Structure formats: C-alpha cells, structure tokens
Amino acid sequence: MADAAAGPSANTAPRTILVTGATGYVGGRLVPRLLAEGHTVRVYVRTPEKLESVPWRNQVTVVQGDLTDGASLQQACQGVDVVFYLVHSMASGTGFEEREADMARIVTEACSAAGVARIVYLGGLHPRNVPLSAHMRSRTEVGSILLAGSTDAVVLQAGVIIGSGSASFEMIRHLADVLPVMPAPSWVRNRIEPIAIRDVLYYLVSAVTVPGAINRTFDIGSREVLQYAEMMQQYALLAGLGRRRVLALPLPAPLLAGHWVSLVTPIPLAMAKPLVQSLQQDAVSNEQDIDAVIPPPKGGLTGFRRAVELALEKERTGQIETSWATAGGYGPEADPLPSDPDWAGHAVLTDDRTHHFDVAPEAIWQVIEGLGGQRGWYSLPLAWVVRGLMDKVVGGAGLARGRRHPDRLATGDPVDWWRVERIERGHQLLLRAEMRAPGRAWLEFTLDPAAGGGTIYRQRAIFFPRGLSGRLYWLGVLPFHAFIFPSMSRNIAAEAAKLPANRTDRGDGRPETVL
C-alpha cells in the first residue's frame, strides 16, 4: 500500500489517460475534471456522435472502438498511463455475466500488452459473504478480474450515488414526489451509505496520481449510514414536499418493486429491476482504508442532505452535466437510420407532412430543439399523457424522463420517451422512440430555407412494424395521428413566430417580424 504520508500529491505530473464509458453518467463528468488537472485525455467510445455537443469534445482525442475488440483497444492504450474502466451494462438475460467478465479480461490483456501503469474501476458497495444480485455479482467479478491481471488496479466500491441526473437520485426523488404514504418492500429498511457524485469524482481523479503499486479494492462513501426510507423522507423535506411516510411490508419482492419503480419514476423497467435488486442487502463500507491512500477532500466528505441540496440546485438552474438517461438506450440499438435512402428491406409506414411557413428557420428550430419536457409537444397534451402512462404500465420509458437541458439537445439525449439519434443543428432532428410498441419508430423534423422566404418544414413519423401486430398498431394510431401531427406543425410554427429569432432587419435599421 502507498505510504500515507506521501498522499496523492506526491507525484502529480500530468498523465495520459484513456477513459472508457465517457458517454455515461460518471465518465461524462470525470473527463473535464481530468482535463482541469492538466492530464491528456483519450476517450474510447462506440458512438463518437454522442460527444458532438459536449463542451470538452475538442480537448480530447476520440477513439472509436468496442471493448470486445482487443486489438483496437490495445492500440488505443498505446502510450497511456492510466485507463478508467467505467463501463457496466444494465442488460440482463442469459450470458450477461459471462459477457461482462470476458470484456474485463480483454481490458486487462490490452492494458498489459500496451504497458499501461494502472486501471481504475468503479464498482459497487456490497456486504461480504452473502448472495448478491446478478448485477452486483457481475461488478464484483469484474473488479476481481482486473485485480488478477498484471496491471496495477484501483477498484473503488461506491453505493448509492447522489447527484443531479443520477439514477439513484432520480429513483429517490420520484418515489418521494409521487406518494405521501408509500407501501414499500422490506428492503427500504436496509442500511445504505450514500456518496455524493462530487466525492466519487474526487476519488477517481486522485487515483490517477497515487504513487506505488496499489492493486486492491477500497470502499468509498459518505460515512453517513441511513435507511433507504430515511433518504426518501429527508429528500421530501429538503424539496419542500412535507414528511413522507414509508410503510415497510414484510416481503422483499424485488421483481414487483422493480415494476413499481418503473411505473412511478422515469427509470425504465430494464434499469429499475437491477437497481432494486442491488438494494436487497445493506450497502455500507466494510473498511475505510482509502484514507491512508487518498485523504478525504478538503472540507470533508459531503453528507446526504448537502448532496441533495446540490442536486436540486443543479436541476433548478438547468446545469445538469450528465444524466443516467444519456448513458444509453433501453430500446433497440440504431440500425440503418430512417433518413438513409436504403431502409434495409424493412416494411416502412410513414406519416409525412410538408409545409411552407412564413417564419424564419432559426425561430422554428429554436422551438423544435426545445420540444418535450416542460414545454410538451404542442398538440393534444392529454393524448401524450395517456400514451405515456400506457407505456409506463408495460415497462417503457413514459414521458417522465423529460430532458437533460431545457433548450439544447445532443446526440443520445433523452426527450421524454424519445432519444436523439441524429441532430444537425438548424436543419434536422431525428428522434428514436423508446416506448413499448410492436415495431420501431422515429420522429423526424427537417427545416430548409424557402426560396421566396420563410421555411420548408417537413415532419415525418416513421414506423418499422413487427409482424401483424405492428401493422394493426399503426392502423390503431392513425386516427390520433390525424389530429396530433397537423396541430403539432401549426403550433410549432405559431410559437416560432413569437420569438426574437423570427425578426429580420427591414433595411432602415428597424426590425421587421417575418409572418
């Protein structure tokens, strides 16, 4: 173990760092902090387009690749001092744990071959010598594989991470928001040691420069232990909701609880189930050895109440850096895009509407980029709410996910039950549906300046039906499309006509509104 007196500041020379998982919740916040410390950063991502709008995009080297491709990863690791392994799938099913373990082995082999000095991994806090959920067991196994490799590893194990946009915070927040009295499974009485996202990032950044060989796990947390029910109650008080009463039932019911969490929070069922399963046991630090290697941050660790206050402030000001919902989709991965000329032999059903509006393209784009969330969809709000509730009932995303930022979108951002698949600012927005439906759906907006002034506005709903049920589904929603989509286009144009972006210069110094 590194000498406590040396501390992480003993060797703070800039390093070359490779970050995997840079499009995720933690990774997206870690990268700018590494840059601020003077390190050279590479990011290894499957979909570079997801980084197009992040503010640090031009300060890093982006390497496209997959963690299952050992040769590509080894090449990316050349000349790298430290690799951050911040990837953990929320998938499930047969072979999930084996795939995670295989990927970890590929990472260790690539780092060893490239001469990487250290791997830093963020795992999960868990009790010892008890059966774990599949996802917690997988994260523990990944940590063990990294430690067994020839490259020095620092495995940090954190429990519930509290920060604006974190899945754990969103779960606590929405459960407290929805019900003043909540029947809940017995695990809400389990002991939890939360940790603020700022402290997680502090430990990750500090792990880069800790001298000597470490190669072990460290539990990290706030040193404040609460029951899960207490966290919901404290959040409610801080959010001004009044006291919440949580009734713990004498049943663990992880599967049922996963469905319940999916129904009343923005978190889809595919993510809610593993989150709930990880709460079946206490999550409290077994040791505090990290203090001898990385001293606590100046001012001390952040308590739960302060972490919640910071998260609420970030949300009120719209300054959420990353969100659990930007970390990946829960519907199908992007196959050939609907905007591509070749739709790969799919049966394609469309609702295609084109209009000429005497409104400036910049103004219409401003409205389109602000769709969803609090602003809604400019057409029959009740119909959208009903469809969102139907989606939540069957385990879909629903409308409650909202948006990461009220005005700006980036590739990969959630927008209610949609996700941004492509954005060409000022010209095209392509949203992929993550609602539950018998097929795959997209909503596309395209703007072009009209020759005589104004805007050519094109709006397409695109559906790849799956079997007979998909075709019947499309026929069932057509009557609603006949009301929703025409009013959407008209209302978007009307809203755009009110905006300053719709004003031009008359030539005499006075502005003129284009209508």
pLDDT tens per residue across span 173-191: 877 877 677 777 777 888 9
- Alpha-carbon distance of 24 to 39, in angstroms, equals 20
- Alpha-carbon distance of 282 to 188, in angstroms, equals 10
**Measured between alpha carbons, how far apart are the two ends of the chain, in Å?**
71
What are the E-state strand segments in 384-500? Answer: 414-415, 418-424, 428-433, 439-449, 455-465
The average pLDDT across 86-90 equals 78
Q: Which residues pair with 119 in a beta bridge?
A: 83, 153
Residue 391, SS3? helix
For β-strands 414-415 and 349-357, DSSP reports them as unpaired
Can you give the length of the chain in residues?
A: 515
Two structure tokens written together for 419 = 């996700």
The average pLDDT across 65-73 equals 93
Q: Share the mean pLDDT of the chain.
A: 83
215, 153 contact by CB (below 8 A):
yes
Q: What is the pLDDT of residue 59?
A: 96
Longest CA–CA span in the chain (Å) reads 80
Least confident range of 108-112, 260-264, 375-379, 477-481: 260-264
Could you tell me what percent of the chain has a pLDDT over 90? 46
CA distances from 154 to 27, 123, 208 (A): 16, 10, 9
Q: Say which residue, 323 or 121, is predicted with more confidence.
A: 121
- Alpha-carbon distance of 419 to 409, in angstroms, equals 10
pLDDT higher than 90, residue 239: no
pLDDT tens-digit profile of 14-62? 999 999 999 888 999 999 999 999 999 999 998 888 888 788 999 999 9
Contacts of 100 (CB under 8 A, 6+ apart): 88, 89, 138, 141, 142
Contacts of 382 (CB under 8 A, 6+ apart): none
Two structure tokens written together for 357 = 């509006």
- Alpha-carbon distance of 204 to 362, in angstroms, equals 41
Q: What is the pLDDT of residue 467?
A: 67
Q: What is the pLDDT of residue 3?
A: 35
CA distances from 404 to 275, 312, 484 (A): 21, 14, 25
Q: Which domains does the chain have, with CATH numbers?
A: 8-326 (3.40.50.720), 349-504 (3.30.530.20)
pLDDT higher than 90, residue 369: yes
| pTM, full prediction | 0.68
Q: What is the pLDDT of residue 90?
A: 60
Q: Say which residue, 436 or 11, is predicted with more confidence.
A: 436
- Alpha-carbon distance of 356 to 366, in angstroms, equals 17
Q: What is the pLDDT of residue 93?
A: 57
Q: How confident is the model at residue 255 (pLDDT cuts 50, 70, 90)?
A: low
Least confident range of 252-261, 439-448, 481-490, 492-501: 252-261
Q: Say which residue, 313 or 61, is predicted with more confidence.
A: 61
* DSSP annotation string for 71-133: HHHHHHTTT-SEEEE-------STTHHHHHHHHHHHHHHHHHHHT--EEEEEEE---SSS---
